């Protein structure tokens, strides 16, 4: 058990967080993020950025890695913890971090407190810790994703945990009160008591047994199965009342293997009471006993229903994360970096299209068609950029957001718990909505009704987007950049050595 070293939080500058966040964003597409890409995303000069990168490595918030094909940086657990802690502390949810109070299979639990000295439990999900195969068997939320990173998995685990806890707490289930979450961190009520696994004696095992079985049935009546209902995830207070914790693996009673999981939960309790308290009862619930009262599973999109919810966009950037100043800032910076890098392309293309739009009707029609074609590309790119930037697609998109809507959308991410509701707009749907709106805007005007000036403006706008997408592609090829850069440096070295040889005769 250790302490989370948060002292550094005080000494890290804005730039440090900007670089950390840039690495986090880079990791959405790269396991190891090249330094040049980090500098572009963070919009810092390479020299300055390298200095900060070195400091972050020294403090173990980043790790430097070099393979045959790529060299660069990746976030460490501590780096990711810092990002989450900074966000939570800037929201004034937590003010201090105390000792580690528990180590779960896939988490570290700390005691934290807010400015009023009120204590909470902070759960930091660490999904890369257990073996990947066992994780794959146990959880299903990465089904549609080819490349899973621990960042991604830990983040969705925290999001799911918070969603379930909130829904259950609202319905008066005995679970900790959820306070807030960010990235892989969940802040919740600190439950007083002992985990059931540490309880050796109790006054009335029969009463506790039946309370726990009732809880399993009540959950199922609400459409849910805990999936890990055992002595490690139940905390018993002084009056022997239980509080249930640990929810990321919860699933719907409509899950194909729901009955198996339900029986397993029931058996865990049966076996534990038999072994520990020598208590056996003939009474235990079966899957057939379930009488559906409501469909909490649908509301919180439990396993059997989560296909839509599992689209990358929403999962990578759960609602609320936009409150993180540094993230928002870096999102803007990504745009700047892209703009800068694509400056040259934009120059040539803009002039081409100026010509195009100022000519006759036929040309205008052609350019309009071009525009539509471009807008299609833009839509794809917008969706892509949005995913890359980790924006949830559930955002409402304004029709007239021509100024880089994919970045502006980030402000709508703090709508709370969109994923609870059945009407939740799926990220992809969100893109589609906008897709429609963009293409409809583009296709409404026929060439004869749009003044050439307007067409010109539109094309310019579209081109800016196209340039951005081209930039993005270039940004994504960060590894290649490392090589080009190295080659260029080598050539320069050779040239200067040759010059020197010439000079000295
Ligand atoms: P894991 O998913 O890794 O199993 P858990 O949520 O089960 O993590 O937490 C691990 C341990 O931390 C628990 O067994 C419990 O002792 C402690 N713990 C977790 N959450 C709380 C809480 N809200 N209040 C008190 N103790 C907690
Ligand atoms: Mg647990």
* 15-62 residue pLDDT tens: 999 999 999 999 988 989 999 999 999 999 888 999 999 999 999 999
How many other CB atoms are there within 10 angstroms of residue 348's CB atom?
8
Task: For residue 193, give the ligand 1 atom closest to its CA.
Answer: 25
Instruction: Decide whether any atom of ligand 1 lies within 6 Å of the 102 Cβ.
Output: yes
* Atom 9 of ligand 1: nearest residue by CA position: 104
Mean pLDDT along residues 296-320: 50
Q: Note the pLDDT of residue 213.
A: 98
The helix or strand, by DSSP H or E, that contains position 66, with its residue range, turns out to be: strand 62-66
Please tell me the pTM assigned to this model.
0.64
CA distance 63 to 76: 6
* Atom 11 of ligand 1: nearest residue by CA position: 102
**DSSP collapsed to 3 states, 375-417:** HHHHHHHHHHHHHHCCCCCCCCCCCCCCCCHHHHHHHHHHCCC
Interval between CA 120 and ligand 1 midpoint (Å): 12
CA distance 157 to 315: 9
Structure token digits, residue 421: 């509701």
Tens of pLDDT, residue by residue over 196-223, are 999 999 999 999 999 999 999 999 999 9
Q: Note the pLDDT of residue 227.
A: 96
Interval between CA 241 and ligand 2 midpoint (Å): 18
Instruction: Decide whether any atom of ligand 1 lies within 6 Å of the 246 Cβ.
Output: yes
In sequence order, the 6+-apart residues with CB closer than 8 A to the CB of 148 are 142
Of 105, 245, 247, 268, the residue with max ligand 1 atoms within 8 A of its CB, to mutate for a pocket test, comes to: 245
Task: For residue 120, give the ligand 1 atom closest to its CA.
Answer: 23
CA distance 292 to 474: 53
Q: How confident is the model at residue 327 (pLDDT cuts 50, 70, 90)?
A: very low
In sequence order, the 6+-apart residues with CB closer than 8 A to the CB of 475 are 37, 40, 41, 337, 338, 341
Supply the residues annotated as catalytic.
Answer: 228
Instruction: Decide whether any atom of ligand 1 lies within 6 Å of the 109 Cβ.
Output: yes
Structure token digits, residue 203: 């006054």
Secondary structure (3-state) at 224? strand
CB 111 within 8 A of CB 190: yes
Q: Is the pLDDT of residue 109 over 90?
A: yes
CB 197 within 8 A of CB 231: yes
Instruction: Decide whether any atom of ligand 1 lies within 6 Å of the 253 Cβ.
Output: no
User: Which ligand lies nearest to the CA atom of residue 106 in the structure?
Assistant: 1
Lowest mean pLDDT among 162-166, 435-439, 491-495: 435-439
Mean pLDDT along residues 370-387: 37
Tens of pLDDT, residue by residue over 155-200, are 999 999 999 999 999 999 999 999 999 999 999 999 999 999 999 9
444-474: buried (b, 16+ CB within 10 Å) or exposed (e) per residue? Answer: eeebeebebeebbebbebbbbbbbbbbbbeb
CA distance 438 to 382: 11
Secondary structure (3-state) at 2? coil
Specify the higher pLDDT residue, 19 or 411.
19
Mean pLDDT along residues 356-367: 38
236 - beta bridge partners? 194, 242
119 - beta bridge partners? 113
Q: Is the pLDDT of residue 377 over 60?
A: no
CB 416 within 8 A of CB 320: yes
Lowest mean pLDDT among 11-15, 131-135, 434-438: 434-438
Under DSSP, the state recorded for 176 is P
Handedness of CA 175, 139, 180, 102 (dihedral sign): positive
Mean per-residue pLDDT of the chain: 71
In sequence order, the 6+-apart residues with CB closer than 8 A to the CB of 175 are 165, 168, 169, 243, 244, 245, 247
Secondary structure (3-state) at 33? strand
CA distance 325 to 332: 11
Task: For residue 109, give the ligand 1 atom closest to its CA.
Answer: 12
Instruction: Decide whether any atom of ligand 1 lies within 6 Å of the 121 Cβ.
Output: yes
The rounded percent of the chain whose pLDDT value lies above 70 is 55
Mean pLDDT along residues 343-358: 37
Interval between CA 287 and ligand 2 midpoint (Å): 23
In sequence order, the 6+-apart residues with CB closer than 8 A to the CB of 181 are 158, 159, 161, 162, 187, 318, 320
Q: Is the pLDDT of residue 451 over 90?
A: no
Residue carrying the six token digits 């790269």: 30
Q: Best-predicted range by mean pLDDT among 267-281, 311-325, 422-436? A: 267-281
Q: Best-predicted range by mean pLDDT among 15-24, 342-351, 403-412, 433-442? A: 15-24
Q: Note the pLDDT of residue 105.
A: 81
Q: Which residues surround ligand 2, an ion (CB under 5 A)?
A: 104, 232-233, 246
């Amino acid at each position: 058990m250790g302490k989370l070293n948060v002292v550094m939080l005080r000494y890290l500058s804005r730039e440090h967080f900007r670089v950390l966040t840039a690495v986090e964003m880079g990791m959405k597409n790269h396991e190891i993020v090249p330094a040049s890409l980090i500098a572009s995303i963070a919009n810092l000069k390479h020299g300055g950025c390298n200095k900060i990168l070195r400091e972050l490595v020294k403090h173990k918030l980043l790790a430097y890695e070099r393979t045959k094909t790529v060299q660069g940086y990746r976030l460490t657990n501590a780096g990711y913890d810092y990002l989450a802690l900074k966000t939570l502390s800037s929201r004034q949810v937590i003010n201090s971090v105390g000792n580690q109070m528990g180590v779960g299979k896939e988490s570290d639990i700390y005691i934290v407190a807010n400015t009023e000295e009120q204590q909470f439990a902070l759960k930091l999900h660490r999904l890369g810790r257990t073996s990947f195969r066992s994780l794959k068997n146990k959880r299903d939320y990465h089904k549609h994703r080819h490349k899973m990173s621990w960042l991604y998995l830990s983040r969705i685990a925290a999001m799911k945990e918070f969603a379930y806890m909130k829904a259950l707490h609202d319905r008066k289930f005995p679970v900790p009160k959820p306070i807030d979450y960010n990235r892989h961190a969940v802040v919740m009520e600190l439950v007083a008591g002992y985990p059931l696994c540490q309880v050796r004696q109790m006054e009335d095992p029969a009463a506790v047994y039946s309370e726990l079985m009732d809880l399993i049935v009540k959950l199922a009546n609400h459409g849910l199965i805990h999936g890990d209902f055992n002595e490690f995830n139940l905390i018993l207070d002084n009056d022997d009342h239980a509080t249930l914790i640990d929810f990321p693996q919860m699933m719907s009673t409509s899950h194909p293997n729901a009955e198996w999981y339900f029986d397993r939960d029931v058996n865990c309790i049966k076996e534990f009471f038999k072994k520990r308290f020598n208590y056996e009862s003939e009474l235990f619930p079966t899957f057939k006993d379930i009488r559906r009262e409501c469909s909490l599973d649908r509301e919180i999109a439990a396993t059997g229903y989560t296909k839509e919810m599992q689209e990358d966009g929403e999962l990578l950037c759960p609602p609320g994360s936009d409150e993180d100043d540094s993230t928002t800032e870096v999102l803007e910076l990504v745009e700047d970096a892209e703009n800068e890098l694509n400056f040259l392309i934009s120059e040539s293309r803009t002039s081409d299209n100026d010509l195009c739009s100022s000519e006759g009707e036929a040309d205008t029609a052609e350019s309009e068609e071009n525009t539509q074609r471009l807008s299609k590309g833009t839509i794809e790119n917008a969706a892509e950029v949005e995913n890359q930037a980790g924006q949830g697609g559930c955002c409402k998109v304004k029709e007239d957001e021509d100024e880089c809507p994919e970045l502006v959308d980030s402000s709508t991410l703090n709508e709370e718990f969109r994923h609870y509701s059945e009407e939740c707009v799926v990220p992809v749907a969100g893109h589609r909505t906008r897709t429609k709106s963009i293409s409809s805007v583009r296709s409404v005007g026929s060439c004869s009704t749009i003044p050439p000036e307007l067409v010109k403006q539109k094309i310019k706008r579209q081109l800016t987007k196209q340039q951005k997408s081209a930039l993005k592609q270039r940004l994504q090829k960060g590894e290649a950049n490392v090589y080009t850069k190295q080659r260029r440096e080598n050539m320069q070295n050779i040239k200067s050595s040759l010059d020197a040889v010439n000079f000295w005769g």
